[in-house]
A and B are shown apart, each in its own frame.
Chain A
Amino acid sequence: MPLLDIRNLRKTFRSPDGSEALILDVPGFALEAGEHVALSGGSGSGKTTLLNVISGILAPDAGGAVVLDGEDMAALPESRRDALRARAIGFIFQTFNLLQGFSALENVLLGMMLGRGGDEEEAKRLLGRVGLAGRLRHRPRQLSVGQQQRVAVARALANRPKLVLADEPTGNLDARSGREALALIREVCRESGAALLLVSHDPAVLDGFEKKFDLASLNRAAGGAS
């Protein structure tokens, strides 16, 4: 049984004028445990929406299924989707989305507290693993963008998730930092055994993945998977 199994996933948005727009229509997609997969797609192809639906941040339209680790996200009430997200998913964002008032250590620790429980030693170990052992008390604005992304990586791994979702994780980094960040993400995912679903439009990023899909080919709403 795959770690992530998506069937007949549809997501419709209602615009302010009342009209409806179908953004996602994915008949099927699966991801095995520990597998690393890249999804490509241009702007507006629904990459971020897909990740938000997989993580339970957005609820899909009725009728489809997003089965993660044996639980159907699409059928769960919001609070249980939140709990499943905290427990099983690590999220890495293009803009890092670190809490600015919190130190690097606190950003990781808070992620843990919302999931399996705070463990300061583990948080320090994770930050040490991403090369930030000397930056534990630094606030995000006191770190370089590359270092901020490393904090985000450590936070994503904080709850030992089974699935890491990475949304354009190198989009805000220069080429060298991007390569380093990508290597780090894949490395720590491999070490922890987490599956990685990464979306990017950057060919340099996609090249490193053995398994990659163009979202347009999966998403009928974007003209694919017919």
Chain B
Amino acid sequence: MTLRGLLRALCLIVRRNLAQHALSSTVTALASALGCGLVIAVVVVREQAHDAFVGGPVGFDAVLGARGSQLQLVLNTVFHLETSPGNIPWSMYEDVRKDPQVELAIPYALGDNYRGWRIVGTTPEIFTRFEYRKGRRFQAQPGGRFFDPKLREAVIGSLVAQRTGMRVGTAFHPQHGVADDREGHHEEEYVVVGVLEPTNSPSDRVIWIPIEGIFRMGGHVLHGAGETFVPQPGEKIPEEAKEVSAVMLKLRTPMAGFRLDQKINREGTAATLAWPIGKSLAELFEKLGWMDRVLALVAWLVMAVAAASILASLYNAMNERRRDFAILRALGAKRRVVFSAILLESTAIAGFGALGGLGISTALIAGAAHVVRSQTGVVIQVFAFHPVQFLAPAAMVALGALVGIVPALKAYRTPVAENLVPQS
């Protein structure tokens, strides 16, 4: 038998066997695809989420906020999740803004929303000086502009516009708190004057309004001076009465971070400096690491079970296929040919599963990316290459080949003469 003839014979045998046992082949291939897809999706989503949260460009180096958890401060101000840990006096913002080692300090006043989308009161510097990525500033889409700090105007992120249908000219009433509560909206009406170009960052989920608007929002009171101050229309708010939820900082040097960390976190008691921003998130991921490992383990187990199902399905079919093996042997097929045919069949099922796994993982990652983007604004790249996209399918194929050895040995050992006669 020529090598070419052997390969052609093996391909024909495997093709026909797969077709003849189409149902079990399809079910086991689907199980393999699911296992393989889960492994890829878990690893890719986990790593991309980690990288996006911990190492993703956020444009700021540190966040100054109320005394408390750095993680809560970062989640609330950078990712617009969680609740604000509290406020700090305006004077702290002024102090840090004047620090020569601070390149940029932007105040955030938080605590309101519109239909669940967070409202951030801030200064126009967020549009004119802040770079969310190196060299990239917020851009208003054509027909829009940035807000006038003296007016009730809003600029909305691209995701807000996409999901709510708001556009330039849309008027809305901010709602109190961070949850969507349409009964408890403020009387003040704001008008959208600009929609930002997508940034693929958490900022896409934000509604930006002038910080003065937050101060003067009906029902809001200020405690910057320690006493309650209720702003009155047309009346200037004293600087000492003002307060902010956080100050976003861009530092000139890393040394500035060390110095501010020492001054605010170690020597001070009134505020917290979250620096570097990725550190507290890295700690969070570290704490949740066990969950990732459990998920990955479950995914790998699903893959192993899928491989076992290939073994079971082929092994159980061996009895009914003994006559076919005997016929092949009677036609001159060597034992190693029938062995190879079963091994190849098992590998082919796993191979189809591996291919399907790539499709399933893409769908799962796309689904996860959609949810993560909606909830956090963080972008997960669906089609970015990760080594697991090669390793998991390769492992699935290898497992398929490995489990195929058992039924292949059974085929190898099939006695020819006694199986050439039909079994009743």
Query: Quick one: which of B6, B327, B332, B420 contacts A99, CB cutoff 8 A?
Result: B327
Interface: A26 (CB within 8 A)? no
0/1 string, B4-21, CB within 8 A of A gives 1 = 111011001100110110
Interface: A73 (CB within 8 A)? no
The answer on a CB contact under 8 Å between B17 and A101 is yes
The answer on a CB contact under 8 Å between A110 and B332 is no
Contacts of A95 in B (CB 8 A): 420-422
B29-88 contacts to A, CB under 8 A, are none
Interface: A195 (CB within 8 A)? no
Interface: A149 (CB within 8 A)? no
Identify the closest chain B residue to A52 (Cβ): B417
The answer on a CB contact under 8 Å between B329 and A82 is yes
Interface: B294 (CB within 8 A)? no
Query: Quick one: which of B13, B334, B417 contacts A110, CB cutoff 8 A?
Result: B13
0/1 string, A109-122, CB within 8 A of B gives 1 = 11111111110000
B115–chain A nearest beta-carbon distance, Å? 60
Contacts of B291 in A (CB 8 A): none
How many residues belonging to B are interface residues under a CB distance threshold of 8 Å?
A: 32
Assuming A99-B16, A101-B17, A118-B8, is B416 touching A110 (CB within 8 A)?
no
Complex: A128 Cα to B407 Cα, angstroms: 37
0/1 string, A78-109, CB within 8 A of B gives 1 = 11001101110101010101111110001001
Query: Quick one: which of A83, A114, A118 contacts B328, CB cutoff 8 A?
Result: A114
Contacts of A110 in B (CB 8 A): 9, 12-13, 328, 331
Identify the closest chain A residue to B11 (Cβ): A113
Query: Quick one: which of B20, B335, B337, B420 contacts A97, CB cutoff 8 A?
Result: B420
B113–chain A nearest beta-carbon distance, Å? 64
Contacts of B2 in A (CB 8 A): 117
B274–chain A nearest beta-carbon distance, Å? 66
The answer on a CB contact under 8 Å between A114 and B1 is yes
Contacts of B323 in A (CB 8 A): 97
Assuming A83-B334, A110-B13, A114-B337, is B8 touching A57 (CB within 8 A)?
no
Interface: A182 (CB within 8 A)? no
Contacts of B16 in A (CB 8 A): 99, 101-102, 106
B94-132 contacts to A, CB under 8 A, are none
The answer on a CB contact under 8 Å between B332 and A114 is yes
The interface residues of chain B, by DSSP majority, are classed as: helix
Assuming A91-B331, A110-B9, A115-B332, is B19 touching A101 (CB within 8 A)?
yes
Contacts of A91 in B (CB 8 A): 330-331
Interface: A188 (CB within 8 A)? no
Complex: A101 Cα to B335 Cα, angstroms: 20
Complex: A55 Cα to B326 Cα, angstroms: 13
Identify the closest chain B residue to A158 (Cβ): B331
The answer on a CB contact under 8 Å between A78 and B335 is yes
B358–chain A nearest beta-carbon distance, Å? 29
A198–chain B nearest beta-carbon distance, Å? 17
Assuming A87-B332, A91-B330, A101-B20, is B324 touching A113 (CB within 8 A)?
no
Assuming A99-B327, A110-B13, A114-B9, is B332 touching A58 (CB within 8 A)?
no
The answer on a CB contact under 8 Å between A97 and B327 is yes
Complex: A12 Cα to B12 Cα, angstroms: 37
The answer on a CB contact under 8 Å between B9 and A57 is no
Complex: A117 Cα to B103 Cα, angstroms: 78
Complex: A85 Cα to B329 Cα, angstroms: 9
Contacts of B217 in A (CB 8 A): none
Report which residue of A49, A87, A99, A106 has the largest number of chain B beta carbons within 10 angstroms of its beta carbon.
Answer: A99
Complex: A111 Cα to B323 Cα, angstroms: 16
Complex: A86 Cα to B1 Cα, angstroms: 8
A95–chain B nearest beta-carbon distance, Å? 5
Assuming A97-B327, A99-B327, A106-B16, is B335 touching A114 (CB within 8 A)?
no
Residues of A within 8 A of B (CB): 48-49, 52, 55, 57-58, 78-79, 82-83, 85-87, 89, 91, 93, 95, 97-102, 106, 109-118, 155, 159
